[in-house]
Structure 1
Amino acid sequence: MINLNTSHYESRKLVSLVENRTVHTLNSAELNIFETHQQASQVMLRFSEPVLASMIKGKKVMHLENTHSFGFLPGESVILPSNELMCIDFPEAAEYNPTQCLALAFSEEKLCETVELLNNRGTKQNGKEWSMTDYNYHFTNDVAINQILQRLIFIFAEKHPSKDIFADLLIQELIIRILQTESKSIYLKKAQHDSNNDRISFIIKYIQDNITEDLSVELLSEKAYMSESNFYRTFKHELGSSPNDFIIEERLKVAESMLRNPKVSVKEAYMASGFNSFSYFCRIFKKKKNLSPTEFKEKASVMKAK
């Protein structure tokens, strides 16, 4: 999760209890930290440039144009086009427990430059070019995106003479990772409904259907009728993770789902998820979830009982 450091609280001025704004500006981007200290509804907000909004603390309910309303929780982000009108409710904000959200606005030029850079590295396996296909894309941050946002908060607030350069590089990486996250989301959906439409969706479906098997890059590349090097490069370029990392993610999803069932033991979840070492399973689970499988199961049981 993203945290605001002490320098934020030292520099910010509390002038409003609803969407109190602290702003940091660089040449090609603007970082806004919004804090709301009381319940409110139908608060309107609009940016003149594309913006990434990411929740830090508390809960919002977002009502966007041409999309359904959704609860907006810590660790989640949404990317919006310029001039998108946001209508926001704050059902849980309180004086000593404020809702906190960051909004990173960047130029259309920066977005186009980054998309062009990605296309110069290679188009998608179906021949289509990269683009921001769904501006109102709502997603859960992965570890890398969280780390970039945390780093940007620090860079925008510091007084380093080269912070514009640092921020530009990080924003470029952030946009690429969001595009790849969106691409992965699209492929995951296609794998469930139209897996024979393209090679990546077919391989994702094959991995999910054979999660307990030995899934090597050699085997998967054969299934995709591609060379190992081309398959590996294409998979990582479009999904932002290697085939092996993706397999681990899918195995962890299986384990997490099973651990939420009080009738399933940790060992049963391990066996069903396809890991070939119990110690490795426990180690990688804790690294990714910040909880051991046993701790995760106990927490899920408590949450279910409430």
Structure 2
Amino acid sequence: MLKLSDEFIKGRKLESLVENQTSYTLNNAAMHVFETHEQADKVMLQFDQPVLASMIMGKKVMHLRDHQSFQFLPGESLILPAKEIMSIDFPEAEDKNPTKCLAMAISEEKINNVLRLMNENMPKDSGKEWSLMDYNFHFVNDSGIYQILQRLLFLFTENHASKDFFVDNMLRELIIRILQTNQQKIYTKETLSLTEDNRLSFIVKYIRSNIHEPLTIEELSKKACMSPSHFHRVFKSELRISPVEFIKNERIKLAVSLLQNPKRKIKDVYMECGFESRSYFNRVFKTKQHISPGEYQLKMQQYF
């Protein structure tokens, strides 16, 4: 997982137990590290610029404007537009186990400059132009994005005369990698835009809350008051993904987060994520992440 340096921990001032903010500002971006040391609900937050938020430690429950709630875990990032109002719960934060989150606010001018560069030098095969990033895009970081974020944590806190130049180059790569990512979106626009009274909203919440349990289409369709075949059609029509694939994605998302801890045993991870066997877990993980769970865990240890 992302790591804060000892120098950062020693140098920052802990003035608040809820969303204590340590900030560093450069020409095209500002880096904020938020720490919460006690449980809290409905903490409001807003930025004037587009933001990449990345979880470092602990768990948040995010409530975005016009969107349903979702858990935000280590190993995940979230792209937010300027002026987005966030309401955040901290259900597990405590003094010995604080919640920590990185928020990278990037100027829209910088993003637009990178888009121009991409359209001039790396056009899409489809012929369409690159456009603004998919806001409210909640995804699992790949190793490349992890390395950039870790490097940015170092650069922003480094006392170097050229750090504005260094950070600009890293921001450009970060924006390009996010825009180019082809990995499966764990939280699609469709799932985030379900209204609270939508009958599938309850099912999505139920899946996420019970991901460690066996989940069947028969059980879920009963809860949605539909026949299994009708439930499958409605789910895929509204969320653009089948219920089985959605469940797999949720389980792999959780596994990716858990495997960043080198002390976690793979057997414990696959059981906690609701997989019935190690072999099936390995097969699904490799299909989604293009690497085995064991290799992924070793790779994360090498980086961090």
SS at structure 2 position matched to 1:94 = coil
- Give the match for residue 163 of structure 2: 163
- Give the match for residue 39 of structure 1: 39
Q: Does 1:288 align with 2:296?
A: yes
One-letter code aligned to 1:103: A
- Give the match for residue 62 of structure 2: 62
SS at structure 2 position matched to 1:104 = strand
C-alpha deviation, 1:120, in angstroms: 1.3
Does structure 1 conserve the Cα–Cα contact (< 8 Å) formed by 2:282 and 2:292?
A: no
Q: Does 1:13 align with 2:13?
A: yes
- Give the match for residue 81 of structure 2: 81
Query: Which protein has the larger Cα radius of gyration, Structure 1 or Structure 2?
Result: 1
Q: Distance in 2 between matches of 1:104 and 1:147?
A: 15
C-alpha deviation, 1:287, in angstroms: 3.3
Q: Distance in 2 between matches of 1:100 and 1:135?
A: 22
SS at structure 2 position matched to 1:66 = coil
Deviation track 1:218-259 (CA, whole Å, cap 9, x = no partner) reads xxxxxxxxxxxxxxxxxxxxxxxxxxxxxxxxxxx9xx9xx7
After superposition, the Cα gap between the structure-2 partners of 1:184 and 1:40, relative to the gap in structure 1 and judged at 3 Å, is same
Q: Distance in 1 between matches of 2:157 and 2:73?
A: 24
Alignment RMSD: 3.0
Deviation track 1:200-230 (CA, whole Å, cap 9, x = no partner) reads xxxxxxxxxxxxxxxxxxxxxxxxxxxxxxx
Q: Distance in 2 between matches of 1:106 and 1:42?
A: 25
Structure 1, unmatched stretches of 5+, are: 190-252, 275-280, 292-306
Does structure 1 conserve the Cα–Cα contact (< 8 Å) formed by 2:282 and 2:293?
A: no
Does structure 1 conserve the Cα–Cα contact (< 8 Å) formed by 2:148 and 2:174?
A: yes
SS at structure 1 position matched to 2:22 = strand
One-letter code aligned to 2:297: K
Structure 2, unmatched stretches of 5+, are: 189-255, 257-265, 300-304
After superposition, the Cα gap between the structure-2 partners of 1:288 and 1:265, relative to the gap in structure 1 and judged at 3 Å, is closer
Deviation track 1:61-118 (CA, whole Å, cap 9, x = no partner) reads 1111232211000010001111111110000000111100010001000000111111
SS at structure 2 position matched to 1:290 = helix
One-letter code aligned to 1:95: D
C-alpha deviation, 1:264, in angstroms: 5.8
C-alpha deviation, 1:265, in angstroms: 4.9
* Aligned sequence identity (%): 52
Q: Distance in 2 between matches of 1:122 and 1:152?
A: 24
Query: How many residues are aligned here?
Result: 214
Q: Distance in 2 between matches of 1:122 and 1:9?
A: 40
C-alpha deviation, 1:27, in angstroms: 1.4
One-letter code aligned to 2:112: C
SS at structure 1 position matched to 2:166 = helix
Q: Distance in 2 between matches of 1:157 and 1:269?
A: 39
One-letter code aligned to 1:85: I
Deviation track 1:237-296 (CA, whole Å, cap 9, x = no partner) reads xxxxxxxxxxxxxxxx9xx9xx76555659x967xx79xxxxxx9x965432328xxxxx
Of stretches 120-129 and 76-85 in structure 1, the one that deviates more from structure 2 is: 120-129
SS at structure 2 position matched to 1:131 = coil
Question: Higher relative CO (CA 8 A, sep ≥ 6), structure 1 or 2?
Answer: 2
After superposition, the Cα gap between the structure-2 partners of 1:97 and 1:164, relative to the gap in structure 1 and judged at 3 Å, is same
- Give the match for residue 125 of structure 1: 125
- Give the match for residue 111 of structure 1: 111
> What aligned pairs does 1:1-306 form with structure 2 within 5 A after superposition?
1-181=1-181, 183-185=182-184, 261-263=275-277, 265=279, 286-290=294-298
SS at structure 1 position matched to 2:124 = coil
C-alpha deviation, 1:28, in angstroms: 1.3
After superposition, the Cα gap between the structure-2 partners of 1:43 and 1:285, relative to the gap in structure 1 and judged at 3 Å, is closer
Q: Distance in 2 between matches of 1:122 and 1:159?
A: 34
Q: Distance in 1 between matches of 2:169 and 2:127?
A: 27
One-letter code aligned to 2:129: E
Deviation track 1:162-184 (CA, whole Å, cap 9, x = no partner) reads 11011000011001111112x54
Of stretches 77-86 and 129-138 in structure 1, the one that deviates more from structure 2 is: 129-138
One-letter code aligned to 1:173: E
- Give the match for residue 248 of structure 1: none
